[in-house]
Amino acid sequence: MIPHSFDYAAATSFADALEQVAAGAKPLSGGMSLIPMMKLRLAAPERVVDLGRIQGLNYIHQDQAGIHVGALATHFEVETSALLRAGCPLLSETAGWIGDVQIRNRGTIGGSVAHADPSADYPAALVALDARIVVASKRGGERTVGANDFFVDALTTAAEPDELVKEIIVPVETMGTSYQKLLQPASGFAIVGVAARIGQDGHGRLGVTGLGARPILITDATDLAALNTTEANSDIHAASAYRREMAKVYARRAIAAARARA
């Protein structure tokens, strides 16, 4: 299908992007989420601001607060970053599961996080990591939101309409980690995906994607009972009962792999 007509502008800086978003423009990052929705007419913005030409927002660097990943870092850059592979391997491993090569070369971590697809991969890793998401607006400057509070519902986050994701901050890892995923073969999205952070004693945290409308955080990885009580999605790809059982299977796999790496 062909999208509705819309006005297009390319942001020259992050400040320019904030200005245009404050005026009602819809942000476009890698385009892996917004463009398909526009083509299907599930989204019909009157104005689109392209963030792709903003320089310097794809950084990955470390300081005392953790590892900072700029919103325009592509999935490929996250996957292949030597700093992340050494300091936060869960995030780079998760990025490697996203879509296919073309999608990983174009899609960005900020765009994926802001889109908050219930079957996206990053949310599971970010809630397991207790990551922080920095959002900014022309109106209020910057603020930081914990990942578990940022993802509110399907395609819904704690970001206000005039806010953009600026960066994601993840911890320097001291535990064993693993991301295990049952994928939908055509799209690459997760039917269920489980991110685990586990110590040598077997205790730790899990993040689960694909099961519900938002990522599920399990703070005690030794107790998977929460997966029984969670309202599970049901669609053409998997019934809710199957998703719930697969979440348990992949949680055990992720825990075992993470413990082996601890």
| Ranges of each domain in the chain | 7-50, 60-170, 176-261
Which pTM does this prediction carry? 0.96
For the chain, residues with pLDDT lower than 70 are none
Q: What's the pLDDT at 85?
A: 98
Q: What's the pLDDT at 229?
A: 79
CATH number of 7-50: 3.30.43.10
Domain 60-170 has CATH 1.10.10.10: no
Q: Let me know how many helices (H) and strands (E) the chain has, helices first.
A: 11, 14
Q: What's the pLDDT at 195?
A: 98
CA 26 vs CA 9, 60, 142: distances in Å: 10, 25, 19
Quick one: fold of 176-261? Enolase-like; domain 1 (3.30.390)
What is the Cα–Cα distance from 40 to 23, expressed in whole angstroms? 25
What is the Cα–Cα distance from 69 to 247, expressed in whole angstroms? 28
DSSP state of 232: P
Spell out the residues 6+ positions from residue 225 whose beta carbon is closer than 8 angstroms to its own.
none
**Closest to 68 in 3D by CA, of 95, 91, 101, 94:** 91
Q: Are 80 and 183 within 8 A, CB to CB?
A: no
Residue 90's CB is within 10 A of a number of other CB atoms, namely 29
